[in-house]
Amino acid sequence: MLGLEIVAAGKSSEYDLVFNPEAGTITQLDQTISAPAMGDLLRLGDDIPATLAARRAALNGLKTSATADYCEMSVVATNTGMIPDVELLHYPIARTSELADIYALREDGGVLSQEGVIEVFNVLRLPDEASFAGGVFVIVRTHDKETWDLLAQKGHVVSRNGRYACMYLPYHFMGVETPITLLNAVLHNRASGSAKPTQCTVLGGRATVDIPAGTVLKMGGHHHDVTGVQAVLLAAKDAAHDVAPLYLAAHATAARDIKAGSLLLISDLQGYDADLHEAWRAGRQEV
């Protein structure tokens, strides 16, 4: 609406990574791990990818992604036409003030290989700092230097090179926000997304273990994970037409052995809902 050039858009992950400098620990929800190396990584260095890699290594394998995030970003993609830059998303461990630097194009020192992408990041913060609270952000180009210099002076998040800015809402009230959706959709007949949703992404899955034929791909838990499968988000233009959508695969049965690392295909499955498959197939034909 404002005519700003959007480079990336996304949200923070569900739970923050809270670093305690005195204890040298990181807490995520109810789990606390030792991570003393993070103390030297609180500032984003000149080599942004290197800093992000070091932060990831400092977590010692702590899980930071969620199937629900991929699902939500798939919905955003459908309604905006934006696509993932990589199938697992970059999921950087970032402080809010760093987002405009991290989500810059690679030639500008950031992590993105293209613009117009959807993303999720892991919030890194200190115990006394406010959370991003599952909120949302948009990264835009800053063509008007005078305007963005002024906004930077007021504390808005602008990249160090002045070429990108981050606009964000640091909260996600989940069901509390539902009346606003109803107000727009029912009373004002106003859509919250684009006029014509497009299936520009595929929420698929890669096997994380060998799955023998006859295995039921169970789905459940808080994040609706499919056992033995990692959710991935693919640009539809790059995905094979027989790729299986993650939630069609849920509760289906492996029709043949599926090797770890393989992308789940329709032909790998049996016992899935035929009507859902037909709806999916019809949507794919439009891509």
The tens digit of pLDDT for each residue in 65-81 reads 999 999 999 999 998 99
In a domain, 185, yes or no: no
What total of structural domains would you count in the chain? Answer: 2
Are 145 and 99 found together in one domain?
yes
Are 59 and 115 found together in one domain?
yes
In a domain, 191, yes or no: no
pLDDT at residue 194 greater than cutoff 60: no
In a domain, 180, yes or no: no
Domain interval for residue 158: 6-175
Are 32 and 151 found together in one domain?
yes
Q: Looking at residue 16, what is its pLDDT?
A: 96
In a domain, 184, yes or no: no
**pLDDT tens digits for range 26-50:** 999 999 999 999 999 999 999 999 9
Q: Mean of the pLDDT values across residues 126-137?
A: 96
In a domain, 40, yes or no: yes
Are 234 and 274 found together in one domain?
yes
Average pLDDT, rounded, for the chain: 93
- How many other C-beta atoms are found inside a 10 Å radius of the C-beta of residue 79? 17
Are 143 and 217 found together in one domain?
no
End-to-end CA distance of the chain: 26
| Position with higher pLDDT, 163 vs 79 | 163
In a domain, 126, yes or no: yes
pLDDT at residue 115 greater than cutoff 60: yes
In a domain, 189, yes or no: no
Q: Looking at residue 54, what is its pLDDT?
A: 98
pLDDT at residue 287 greater than cutoff 70: no
